[in-house]
Each structure stands twice: as structure tokens, then as C-alpha cells.
Structure 1
């Protein structure tokens, strides 16, 4: 091969290689455009705790993972639980970003602390779906329940449990963690329903979403007001309600107590007559909406197909949002709510200890 021929072959090869590289680059570019912010197939999922409520591990996580898989067969969910620590959740959030995850579903343990995290993520092209609790910062979408309505339903159910005694009833309120913006909405809604319908809220404290703290607070209320000093207890969730009921029983006090989350143990307490009501927030549509929002963001689709309303946070306005409706669960409607929706089977609720109570309540 002479020099001229050799130069022609090399030149042709170089042109061919350049065209191949250009074609690869275009394909990669198309893939990135389709994904909206990168070609990753991972979605981060950060949930806040697992001590006060069993819902996150039992319902939220598996429902989200299943829906992501159904919508995107080759996507995967990278999951972590903060176990009640804002600092731990921040580390988990940073780890996901370092790993190249482009969409994170975040149920913030301390929603007020997330502003700088979410801003830094947004600056790097990472989208955040605020889940259940409205994280501060420029989140791309939010899915939850109408949380003030949750509180209103709690307050109304407590008034109904008191019946004719409501007007003369003193109430103890054990609220959620003040770092959780939902807790303030539950409290506001509950007051809207209670104020003017009961005699007085004589004691009001945060239980911090911790059963041990709630137990301590109700113990302090008993010490301060005595066995007959209050006629009902508002508990912001079921985990705290369980500890409150234990303390009340040990003091020989039987008054209406309500909660939230429709945990299995709470439903069983309702059947047994120890707890008056819970609030059922259907976890499956909540979780599936979050999964759909996350996959849409990953694929560059419009979130407004799912999030048809908007909401304002402390830092941002007009956030695309989907808000679902909660339901009150009492002994009278267990069949029509948590059983009808497939959250629990009658057999899950009506174990040996509760079989007689279930029969009496017509639960089947």
C-alpha cells in the first residue's frame, strides 16, 4: 500500500468513526431528552420514620415500588428510612444525588429543614416529589391528603363520640411534631371542629409523633387534672393513641380517644371499644400517585396530568398538587372502609383476642 492509498484509508476510517460517534451522541441526546434530566432509571424514595406508625413499611413503600415497576419495567426504587432523624434523612438525600438519581420522592421528617436541600437538588437538575408532607424548597410536585380536613374529621368524630356530653366536656389534645407542617394542619382542623362544640381544651401538648412522649404527656395531664378532669383525648395519630390508651387504662380512666392512620392495631382497638375512631387515608392511591408523578418527571412528562391542583408552601407558590380525601373509621363502618378497600381482611382484624368483639360488631 503506497502512502497516498494509506492516507485515503485512514481518512475514510476517521470520517466513518466521526459519523458513528455523532450518531451515538445523537442517540444519547435523545435518551436524555426523553428522560427529562438524565438517562438514569432510578427513583429515590425517602420515608421519615418507622416507630410511631407501621404504615410506611407496610403500605407506602410496597405500593410505591409496585406502581413504579408497573409504569417503568426497568426502573428501580432506591429506598431509605430516616428512622426519625432529620440529619440521617439529609445524608440519605445527599447520597441519592451523589449516585446520580434524578427524581426523589421525599416524605420529609422535618419539612422546614429541606429548603436548602431541595434548592441544591433543583440546581443539579434533580426533581423532588413532596410526599404526604409538603417539603420546603422548589419541589416539582406534591401529593397528600387535605390535611386540615383530616383534623376536622378527627375533631368531629371526637364530638360525635362524646354525644350529649360534648358541650360540657374538657378535652386533652396531644398533637403531632411541630416540625411536621401536617401536624399544624391537623391541629388547626381539629380546633375548627372542637372549638365552640366542647367546653374547653384544658391541656394541649405535642407528642412529637412518639408514643413514649405521648404517654408521658397524658400522664402529666392525669396528674394535673385527675381522673375526672377531662372527658376525651384527641391524639394526632394512632401510634400515640395506643400509648395514651395504655396510660388511661392504668389510671382507671375510660374516655373517648381518637387517632389517625388506620393502623391494624388501632382498628383492633376500635373493635374492642378502647379507641373511638381513626382516620383512614387510602395509602394505595396516595402511593400510586407519587409513583406516577416520579415516573412522569423521570420521563419528561407533564406532572399536571396527575397533579391537577396547586398548593403553596412556606417558600414556594403554585406547586402542582394532588390532594386526596380522608375518611373516618369507627366500629360501625369498618366493613365499608378498610375491609371494602382491601386494606385488611376480616381475618387480619378478627384474631382470637378480637373474635367475639368482631362478631358483636358484625365485622366479616
Structure 2
């Protein structure tokens, strides 16, 4: 090969290398944000799986939105299976893995406080999801939980009509470790107190339907089935256990719920549950995911994302977004849970409920 040819090849190679460097540099410039998004690592910690919403809706919605906003994000998922101790250990694992933000739905809002503080000390942000954990939380998204209780109480009162003053109701308020349960309870009492007589009132640890079933059976035995005119249930999981106890006693009285579970919608059609309260999961999940990605990228949360503040049980003021719940009854199933994409008519209207669906106009 001649010296002239070798020189030409060398010059061409140098030019190619120079162009390659420009190309990489050019890709890296817009990629400063892109690289940051690839570094996004988020821990998603949900409390349990007995309530169907968490695995069926919350988790996939949150994960999908994170991936939409930050396609290269790493998501570490944990479910505490109703154990506060397990959730504390999971927070430790998430911190050890290098998660930059935790989306945390606390099993026990009080006991998780030390873990939230540990995250803060490690420079990790915490988004409280659905339940407001105590400690230095950076942001919170949920529904107006007191309003949920008010809607449930008013729906029960409306269903009782003239019977409100003639008998007693039984109240099932949910898990004492869930701060939302206290809000539901307060909202319901604000409507019901002075208008109905409360014969029995229960907390139900871990939102366990089996416990609710046993509590309702005990209330029927203690009060007498002819004395009970209605039942307040804080969610649909409890309502499932309660409805079974009522059926076993040959009773069918107004019964509330919450979460718009599929079985609750079917009970409403069948007439064994009066209402549920829908808290559309996707808007809540999308907001939590957006908060988490913004915080992971070091951004300040805009006022549109956190339009209000709430005070946690430990006294912290937390930027928050509280969404509006809606009552679902037999008349508006199509315009709520079907329209919102929770369930299709085919999922609701199995052969067992076909006649009830036709009567309700679900086709």
C-alpha cells in the first residue's frame, strides 16, 4: 500500500471517529434528561392483597404511568401482606437497593414513621399513597376520606327512610391501624349521629372479611335480627363477610361499602348491598406515579399536582392532592365503574346476574 493511500485511509478514519464523537455527544445532550430518567428507581410498597384493588388496579396503573413518564425506570415492588413488620423490612430493602423515591401505602401509619424518617435521612423521598403515613412524607395522594364516610352515612340514612328511628344499626369501621378508617368513621358519624341508634360498633383489624362476618353474626345474636335495620360497612371486603352473615340469618337490610369491587357491584345488582363508593384508581395512581418521577428527577412538585396540604398524625404539613369519591348504586353502574373502565358489562353480568343486569339496563 502506498504512503499516499495509507494517509488517505488514516484521514478518513480520523474523520469517522470525529463524526462518531459528535453523534454520541449530540445524543447525550437531549439525553441529560433521558439519562436522568433511566436512573429513576422507585420502590412501590402496597399493604396487602386481600382487597382486590391493589394487585388488579393500583399496581399495574402505577407501574404503567411510571414507565410512560420514564421508560428506563426501575420499579421495585413489595406487598406487605398486612404485616407492619414486613413493610418496615421492605423499606429497608428498598433503601439498600438504591430506590430514590418510595410510593408507600402504609399497613400501619404510626409504626411506619421510623421507616419514613430513615428514608428522609437517606435522602429518599416518600409519596404517601391512599393512606397518610406519619413522619416526614414529601407528598400525599388519596381521596377525601371524610367525604367517603359522609357519602356512606347519607346513603345508609336514605335507604333506611322511615325505619331510621325504629331500630338499630351495626357499624363496621375497618382497621384501627389505617388512618383512612378513622376518617371514614368520623364522616359517617357526622351524618348518622342523632338520627339512628347504633346497637353495635366494631373495628376490624386488617380489614378482614372473616372477622367482619363473625362480628356481624355476634351482633345479630346480641341484638336480635328483628332489631337491626341497617349496616354501615366501611369497605366492600367487610361487606362481603357481613352479607354472608346477614344471608345466614335470613336478613336483607341496607348495607354500605367502598372500593367498587366487582363482587360488591354484583351484590348491588342482586339487592344484597345497597351502595359502594367508587374512588377511581387510575387518577390516583397516575398522580402518585407523576409525583414519584418528578421527585426522582429532583423537580419541585407543581401546585397543580399538590393543590392542598394535610396534617399527618405526627403533625407534619404534607403537600397533597385529594380527589373526589362518588356513590355507586343500581342506577348508575354503567355511568361509573363501566364508563371508568373498571369492569366491562360482560365481567359484571355473568349468568348468575343476567336478569338483574337486564333490569338495571346493563347490556
Report the TM-score, using the length of structure 1 for normalisation.
0.88
Cα drift, residue 39 of structure 1: 7.9
Cα drift, residue 317 of structure 1: 2.9
Which residue in 2 is equivalent to 1:324?
323
Asked if 2 retains the 8 angstrom alpha-carbon contact of 1:175 and 1:207, the reply is yes
Cα drift, residue 313 of structure 1: 0.4
Q: Distance in 1 between matches of 2:32 and 2:91?
A: 25
- Over 3 Å counting, the alpha-carbon distance change for 1:31 and 1:140 in structure 2 is farther
Asked if 1 retains the 8 angstrom alpha-carbon contact of 2:102 and 2:125, the reply is yes
Partner secondary structure for residue 353 of structure 2: helix
Q: Distance in 1 between matches of 2:251 and 2:277?
A: 23
| Residues 43-97 of structure 1, C-alpha deviations (whole Å, 9 max, x = no match) | 100000111x100001000000010011111112211111110011111111000
Superposed, which structure 2 residues align to 1:96-111 within 5 Å? 96-111=94-109
Asked if 2 retains the 8 angstrom alpha-carbon contact of 1:138 and 1:316, the reply is no
Partner secondary structure for residue 331 of structure 2: helix
Which residue in 1 is equivalent to 2:199?
202
Superposed, which structure 2 residues align to 1:296-315 within 5 Å? 296-305=294-303, 306-315=305-314
Which residue in 1 is equivalent to 2:267?
269
> How many correspondences in the alignment?
332
Cα drift, residue 254 of structure 1: 1.3
| Residues 287-323 of structure 1, C-alpha deviations (whole Å, 9 max, x = no match) | 0000000000001111234111111102243211000
Q: Distance in 1 between matches of 2:348 and 2:159?
A: 22
* Greater mean deviation of Cα atoms: 294-303 or 312-321: 312-321
Q: Which structure 1 residue ranges, 4+ long, deviate > 4 Å from structure 2?
A: none
| Residues 144-184 of structure 1, C-alpha deviations (whole Å, 9 max, x = no match) | 00000000001011111112222324110011111111000
Report the TM-score, using the length of structure 2 for normalisation.
0.88
Q: Distance in 2 between matches of 1:128 and 1:40?
A: 17
Which residue in 2 is equivalent to 1:182?
180
Asked if 2 retains the 8 angstrom alpha-carbon contact of 1:50 and 1:56, the reply is yes
Q: Distance in 1 between matches of 2:316 and 2:80?
A: 27
Asked if 2 retains the 8 angstrom alpha-carbon contact of 1:133 and 1:181, the reply is yes
Superposed, which structure 2 residues align to 1:276-287 within 5 Å? 276-287=274-285
Asked if 2 retains the 8 angstrom alpha-carbon contact of 1:155 and 1:191, the reply is yes
Q: Distance in 1 between matches of 2:333 and 2:245?
A: 26
Q: Distance in 1 between matches of 2:167 and 2:301?
A: 46
Which residue in 2 is equivalent to 1:13?
none
Which residue in 2 is equivalent to 1:15?
none
Which blocks of at least 5 consecutive residues in structure 2 are unaligned? 1-27
Cα drift, residue 211 of structure 1: 0.5
Partner secondary structure for residue 252 of structure 2: coil
Partner secondary structure for residue 95 of structure 2: helix
Superposed, which structure 2 residues align to 1:58-207 within 5 Å? 58-198=56-196, 200-207=197-204
Superposed, which structure 2 residues align to 1:41-60 within 5 Å? 41-51=40-50, 53-60=51-58
Asked if 1 retains the 8 angstrom alpha-carbon contact of 2:230 and 2:255, the reply is yes
RMSD: 1.8
Asked if 1 retains the 8 angstrom alpha-carbon contact of 2:174 and 2:203, the reply is yes
